[in-house]
Structure 1
Amino acid sequence: MPHLSPEIQSCVDECLRCHSACLSTAMNHCLEMGDEHVEKDHFTLMMACAEICRTAAHFMLIGTPHHRHICAECAEICAECAQDCERIGDMEECVNACRRCAESCRRMAA
């Protein structure tokens, strides 16, 4: 079985970390905080971010060249999610995970 390149493995790891951070933050922190944390646009963005990160990791793990397109979209959604989580505040783990993932996915998409 061929191993993933260190660059791809690193991006898979960042995507899975971001998936976990967005999903757990949304389902725990945001639901507990209420108010703007659960506004439809914000909550939907967090769910979209978690899902595109999971999908990007999946595409890289199965070795399809289409991962570049998915990673480009993932970078865009992660950047948007980081910005929105920062706007609301008290979501540093999510902001940081999204920024790291966006950067890693930008490199994969290039």
Structure 2
Amino acid sequence: MEHDMSPEMQQCMKDCHHCHLTCLHMAATHCLEMGGKHVELAHMRLMLDCAEICQTALNFMARNSAQHAAVCRACAEICRACAASCEQLGDMQECVEACLRCAESCERMAAMG
């Protein structure tokens, strides 16, 4: 399967997968344990949206969809918003880094699209 994909797409898929898992895990563990601003509706929804769009972008690339660039563009935008929200709260560096790495990969895929 991987031989049909560019190294950039393979990396983007890995970054999307990592971001999906990180956001889901951090939302379900760290944020719930921290409480307060970490569980405010807007932040929790953004983290879950980020996890979902990362999974969706991964799926579009995995099936070599002609629409993957559009989904990657949306994924990058949501990842950047999630990173900003996590950065603002503090103590969420793992999530910030995963989101920014995914955003950069998705922006490259969208530009290549």
The CA distance in 2 between the partners of 1:12 and 1:65, in whole Å, is 15
Q: Which residue of 2 aligns with 1:96?
A: 97
Q: Helix, strand or coil for the counterpart of 2:84?
A: helix
Range that drifts further, 87-96 or 3-12: 3-12
Displacement of 1:5: 1.3
Question: Which structure 2 segments of 5+ residues have no match?
Answer: none
1:33 aligned partner, one-letter code: M
Relative to the length of structure 1, the TM-score reads 0.98
Displacement of 1:57: 0.4
2:61 aligned partner, one-letter code: M
The CA distance in 2 between the partners of 1:55 and 1:93, in whole Å, is 21
Question: Which structure 1 segments of 5+ residues have no match?
Answer: none
Deviations 1:23-68 (A, max 9, x none): 0000000000000000000000000000000000000000111000
Q: Helix, strand or coil for the counterpart of 2:4?
A: coil
Q: Which residue of 2 aligns with 1:79?
A: 80
Q: Where has structure 1 moved over 4 Å in runs of 4 or more? A: none
The CA distance in 1 between the partners of 2:66 and 2:30, in whole Å, is 36
* Aligned length, in residue pairs: 110
The CA distance in 2 between the partners of 1:6 and 1:70, in whole Å, is 19
Range that drifts further, 2-11 or 62-71: 2-11
The CA distance in 2 between the partners of 1:69 and 1:97, in whole Å, is 20
